[in-house]
Structure 1
Amino acid sequence: MKFLETYQNFYFVGIGGIGMSALARYFHASGKKVSGYDKTNTKLTQILMDEGIDIVFEDIIDEKVTSLQKENTLVIYTPAIKKLGLLDYFTENQFKVLKRAKVLGLITENTDCIAIAGTHGKTTTSTLVAHLCKEADLPFSCFLGGISENFKSNFLYNGAKYAVVEADEYDRSFLNLSPDWAVITSTDADHLDIYGDRNTIEEGFRQFAALVPDDQKLFVRKGIEIGRPHLTYAVNEKADYYSDHLRMENDHIYFDFHTPTETVPNFIWEIPGIHNVENATVALAILHRLGVDFEILKKAIASFKGIKRRYTKHSYKNGKIYIDDYAHHPTEINAVMSSIRTFYPEKKLLVIFQPHLFSRTKDFADGFAESLSQADELMLLDIYPARELQENYHGITSDWLSEKVTLDEKEVSSLQDAFGKIKEKEFDIILTIGAGNIDTLYDPICEWMNSL
């Protein structure tokens, strides 16, 4: 941490990423001069600029860049950035250049780091742990992979004893952390462009688990083999910590929570899906082991509003519903679809999906087709490339994926044309899903639905 304090300027290459923006907010709040680059102006980059952070959207070496001095400037980049003139400039001029995960590790190394890992569920779980810490008034900071609906940010500082972080498996970034506490929610195959196959990604999670020094501070969803002693958690089956007796009343979920020594009945929360009760279970387990009273935890769970773009739901006077979710993997899409079908089995569901990455679309095409075929009608947007180039994935298109979907009512559309087409559709529920820039449809859809 003392190493970081020697720098006054922090330049972020890829500042618009959710993890990068949390670090940018941290240094900005610490009184440092923060600036950066991203290729796209989004809602998040606009918010950062409104907060006083200077951002450019062209890969150019301008006067603002050349005026930076290597002695007092740290350059932080995301591994999602592959080739960029800015990075070449900083490297060639001998600036200190570090990956985001390395910097996060340096920030948290002198805290009790609570690291939440998993191919699915880590954002909800880490945000909930942070919310519970805040409601219990623990001295903590958090660096999240989503925007909390409760404190409207992906970064919060309430002290330095604990640090709640989302441990990202992409590029093996989570191996840069020094977790004192850790959660592993899932180890499903993903990021095969990095890991190659399922066995390799599972080995990555085993390496992450090995970083936790205390067996009693490592929580793993029951059924995952992690190769070392740990505590288990589950829903509707016995584990070290588990929840059961789930029931729905007035759009709220009630459940009972079991520790190794006691049962605490009637927790209430409003985030749908059994998978989210699973996330709540491990968050409660951690706070229980931190010594927080169950009455505080009950109130805190009940007040949790979730994360932006994680089953964000709006109901309208005409009976129609709009749900927006970040789901970009077949397992995540299945979870969202399952929740919708459980609550609204008879309603016509229109799904708008933007695939994220050519590689992920190729690797999980059959899974995507199966999960998307649960819709009543599908609009498939063009693939969002992020860090990838189309020419490296010949033939991998949304038209190609659409052919695998077993629906009669389906079409492929550009993002630009999507909103106009949506307004011509008949539906009871509209669901937008994806991790790219599909979020630009959110405000127009909300405004239109409010006007109906």
Structure 2
Amino acid sequence: MTGFKKFKKIYFIGIKGVAVSGLALILKQLGFEVSGSDVPDKFLTDKVLLENKIRIFKKFDAENLKIFKPDAVVFGASWVKNSELAYAVRNKIPSFSESDVRGWISRQKKTIAVTGVHGKTTTTAWLSYIFSRDKKDPAYLFGSSKAYGLKGNGHWGSGRHFIVEGDEYAKSISNSRPKFLDLRPKITVITSLEWEHVDIYKNLVQMQKVFTDLIDKTISNKGKIFVCSDWPAINKIISGKKNIITYGFNSKALWQPYDVRFFPGYTLFKIKKREKFFGEFKIRLLGSHNVLNACVCAAVASGEGVSKEKIRQALFNFKGTKRRFNISRIKNVTYIDDYGHHPTEISTTLEAVRQKFPKKYVRCVFQPHTYSRTRALLENFSGCFGKCDQIVFTDIFASAREKKKSCSSEILCKKTGTSHPDARYTGSLKSTKKFLDKNVKKNDVVVVMGAGDVYKLIDN
């Protein structure tokens, strides 16, 4: 990536992806001329790209590159086998993965990398919000189309920090190196660790290996690692490591939230630092998992010079990110849109729903994400919907990387039905919408979950 600054025109393949769109915003703010292509479907990132006057070509076509004439091409992880990239390679146009570019950016500032299989998007955006409210003007990049109170999902600030979501997924279908190992973090956060991305990692041990590599890389950079020690898989990889700062509900954690009290619309809790009272805090985001996210935000921000009062104000004023427990009220029905697509995320989110709506009828509409994950975690999925009154399964949203169907929503529905009293399979989003229109009643709560396009049930 040496010499990247010499380029003037950058073309992004798969520009609507949440990770790639944020990079496009940052490069434009750095002075590059930016454009890119994607499929014509409507994405949540369309708005922010258009607001920043970034031209989007509505299909993948080598002719686009002939029109734009880029100095360099950046491709998203799913688009290695793409006609535009093939054209760039044939014509010797320098080409980089989005992970390469993220790594290059991380070398320009003091990088805070937020990682973990759950909670990293919210925590990255929350930290970015805290630093922004303290007038530190950080650069930031996170995996959602929007965080309320921030300028976009990517921003190049004048401050010395780069707060970035570190992804454990592979760089591309042809390169299994985890994306977060391209970063050069001075501070690393690991929010959680369990088996995930089953198409890349055969077991938890393989995941522990790459997170260990990240810890070692941070240590070699004379950095600090904040880890949630409530996760057994994390505790196994930090043993004997230096520069480790733990947080969690367990009594051995250096930073520990306690006296947690849930109220309609907010949560109160206190934090201890090394057994001494640090402060009392109030947050709008629901669920015990967000208490932990807030705790590590307080720990990191405090270490970087943000005052306790600024932390307290920003923790409360932060309203979350797009597709993370977004609540809307439409025609006397409460809808909750959430990105959760792993059994742990689903059960945690539904627990928070029950905290907020203890007496309401809760219907969960779940769109499984990828055949491989659904098959590998079938047993876990089938048992994670206990907090909802009815579970509705749409068809699986497949990854562009998957070549065969190894499982189905019908199988998942049947398996779930052995323990849940009301499990339904509705098929396509169109047929699911008809089912909801017919069955949803006044004052119901409908939770729409999944990493695909299931959010369109609410938008439409």
TM-score in same-fold range (> 0.5):
yes
Corresponding position of 2:173: none
Corresponding position of 1:101: 99
Kindly tell me: are residues 140 and 430 of structure 1, through their superposed partners in 2, closer, same or farther at Cα, counting changes over 3 Å? same
Matches within 5 A, 1:206-245: 206-213=212-219, 217-222=224-229, 223=231, 224=234, 225-227=236-238, 228-229=241-242, 230-235=244-249, 237-245=251-259
State the one-letter code of the partner of 2:459: D
* Deviates further, 228-237 or 163-172: 228-237
Is residue 390 of structure 2 the alignment partner of residue 392 of structure 1?
Answer: no
Return the alpha-carbon distance in structure 1 between the equivalents of residues 135 and 422 of structure 2: 53
CA shift for structure 1 position 266: 2.4
Corresponding position of 1:43: 44
Kindly tell me: are residues 398 and 330 of structure 1, through their superposed partners in 2, closer, same or farther at Cα, counting changes over 3 Å? same
CA shift for structure 1 position 302: 1.2
CA shift for structure 1 position 287: 0.7
CA shift for structure 1 position 261: 6.8
CA shift for structure 1 position 379: 2.0
Query: 1:251-300: per-residue Cα shift (whole Å, max 9, x none)?
Result: 21111112237413321111011011001101100011112211111111
Kindly tell me: are residues 345 and 139 of structure 1, through their superposed partners in 2, closer, same or farther at Cα, counting changes over 3 Å? closer
* Deviates further, 152-161 or 163-172: 152-161
Return the alpha-carbon distance in structure 1 between the equivalents of residues 192 and 82 of structure 2: 33
CA shift for structure 1 position 409: 4.4
Kindly tell me: are residues 351 and 278 of structure 1, through their superposed partners in 2, closer, same or farther at Cα, counting changes over 3 Å? same
Return the alpha-carbon distance in structure 2 between the equivalents of residues 23 and 81 of structure 1: 16
Match 2:452 to one of 426, 436, 444:
436
CA shift for structure 1 position 68: 5.0
Query: 1:178-201: per-residue Cα shift (whole Å, max 9, x none)?
Result: 000010111111112112221101
Work out whether residues 357 and 388 of structure 1, in 8 Å CA contact, stay in contact via their aligned partners in 2. no
Is residue 412 of structure 2 the alignment partner of residue 401 of structure 1?
Answer: yes
Corresponding position of 1:197: 203
CA shift for structure 1 position 317: 8.3
| Aligned residue pair count | 438
Query: 1:404-442: per-residue Cα shift (whole Å, max 9, x none)?
Result: 112434122201232232111135210000111112222
Match 1:424 to one of 438, 443, 447:
438
Corresponding position of 2:9: 9
Matches within 5 A, 1:276-315: 276-315=290-329
State the one-letter code of the partner of 1:264: F
Work out whether residues 178 and 212 of structure 1, in 8 Å CA contact, stay in contact via their aligned partners in 2. yes
State the one-letter code of the partner of 1:377: Q
State the one-letter code of the partner of 1:36: G
Return the alpha-carbon distance in structure 1 between the equivalents of residues 16 and 365 of structure 2: 23
Tell me the secondary structure at the aligned position of residue 455 of structure 2.
Answer: helix
Q: What TM-score does the superposition give when structure 2 sets the normalisation length?
A: 0.90
Structure 1 stretches of 5 or more lacking a match?
445-452
Tell me the secondary structure at the aligned position of residue 336 of structure 1.
Answer: helix
Match 1:350 to one of 350, 360, 363:
363
Return the alpha-carbon distance in structure 1 between the equivalents of residues 372 and 30 of structure 2: 38
Kindly tell me: are residues 238 and 95 of structure 1, through their superposed partners in 2, closer, same or farther at Cα, counting changes over 3 Å? same
Corresponding position of 2:341: 328
Return the alpha-carbon distance in structure 1 between the equivalents of residues 37 and 212 of structure 2: 34
Matches within 5 A, 1:6-405: 6-39=6-39, 40-62=41-63, 64-67=64-67, 69=69, 73-146=71-144, 147-151=146-150, 153-171=152-170, 172-213=178-219, 217-222=224-229, 223=231, 224=234, 225-227=236-238, 228-229=241-242, 230-235=244-249, 237-260=251-274, 262-315=276-329, 318=332, 320-389=333-402, 392-394=404-406, 396-405=407-416
Kindly tell me: are residues 215 and 65 of structure 1, through their superposed partners in 2, closer, same or farther at Cα, counting changes over 3 Å? closer
State the one-letter code of the partner of 1:400: I
CA shift for structure 1 position 82: 4.3
Tell me the secondary structure at the aligned position of residue 95 of structure 2.
Answer: strand
Tell me the secondary structure at the aligned position of residue 415 of structure 2.
Answer: coil
Taking only the aligned residue pairs, the percentage that are identical comes to: 29
Query: 1:82-119: per-residue Cα shift (whole Å, max 9, x none)?
Result: 42111211122222111111111111203110000101
CA shift for structure 1 position 67: 4.3
* Deviates further, 42-51 or 188-197: 42-51
Return the alpha-carbon distance in structure 2 between the equivalents of residues 167 and 126 of structure 1: 9
Work out whether residues 104 and 177 of structure 1, in 8 Å CA contact, stay in contact via their aligned partners in 2. yes
Work out whether residues 271 and 305 of structure 1, in 8 Å CA contact, stay in contact via their aligned partners in 2. yes
CA shift for structure 1 position 375: 2.4
State the one-letter code of the partner of 1:393: K
CA shift for structure 1 position 121: 0.8
RMSD: 2.0
Work out whether residues 271 and 306 of structure 1, in 8 Å CA contact, stay in contact via their aligned partners in 2. yes
Corresponding position of 1:411: 425
